[in-house]
Structure 1
Amino acid sequence: MTNEAQRTGRSPRAIAATLVVGSLGMLGLSFASVPLYRAFCAATGFGGTPQIGKIAATRQGERHLTVRFDANVARDLPWKFEPEVSKVSLRTGETTTVYYKVANLSDKETSGQAAYNVSPDQAGSFFVKVKCFCFDEQKLAPRETAEWPVVFYLDPALESDEAMRRVEEITLSYSFYPTKSPAKAKTSDVAGQKPKS
């Protein structure tokens, strides 16, 4: 045994094993941090992440707000993506449906996943999505067009929140990014999709 091993009471192998286990633990935690952060944001509305509701609002509030809609597509995804309306005015607790139009501009099947956010950030915990195309990866056939719904409401609890007192306008923003596996993505037959005309 070396002088250091005698002083600490640990052999070099025990120290090396501790370092390896610690390093692997930190590596595992770094991979787990992204899904854990997403789960935290989804549960709390932190960073403008909207809440996900299973049912429509059960009560309406008194306050009226404007919700604006924003749509973006990554450069390497050949889609045109836009909301049918640029904004709606609604009362808190009022369940609303807005459609987004999407078109695959390419001659091949493509797939994408929407990232979404609500601003201002403090509105995220009061913005409740009941149904959204953004919950799943989406696939479009060559030159296919579709209209996808977003069903949401603003929780009436925002009326008593000090940080929301002066907020009159909320923006729901989507950004679509390409995914690597169009064969595994859902087809554009999104529940609630408008029939093609």
Structure 2
Amino acid sequence: MITIPYLTAVSTYFSYGLIFAFGHLRDFFRRFLDWWLTSNLQGYEPICLGHEDFYIRRFYHRIQDCFGRPISSAPDVWFDVVERYSNDNNKTLKRTTKTSRCLNLGSYNYLGFGSLDEYCTPRVIESLKIFSASTCSSRVDAGTTSVHAELEECVTRFVGKPAAVVFGMGYATNSAIIPVLIGKGGLII
């Protein structure tokens, strides 16, 4: 079991609590100032009621430059991320012309199969002509093809077991199929 050092946990919770407390303090003064200074929006209903947008206003704006990063290249194994800057404490982010070359660890295309390359792309196009795109779907939807049987036979020989079953990557495999195949304490390789 992985344990977090005590000092790290305490400082993280303390920082979170401090930001939370200062956020509520800022909201208190904002409500007081809004009540004190009559707004030109009197008679209109507020867009958000209560604390519906508290997280966005007080937490997310401080760290939003870390998320939703625009890219300026194909989503390959390596891609170009557009650099941004802010002059108003991250309320708005402005794009620059500079980019950073980054390793793609945050998408399902981490192997780079979703981009063009001179080896994979022609073979993918040929296989689509022969087997169609339904080969990637569930066998319940599209049936079993010779490619499924060939791949399972190859995996069977590779792992040295009497049989193997291959699934496309997806949530349904983890949530619906695996619990049927194996119980608690089992191992799937």
TM-score of the alignment, normalized to the shorter chain, above 0.5:
no
Class of the TM-score when normalised by the shorter of the 2 chains: under 0.3
**TM-score, reference length from structure 2:** 0.18
Q: Which has the larger radius of gyration?
A: 2
Determine which structure has the larger strand proportion and give its number.
1
Determine which structure has the larger helix proportion and give its number.
2
**TM-score, reference length from structure 1:** 0.18
Higher relative contact order (Cα pairs below 8 Å, separated by 6+ residues): 1
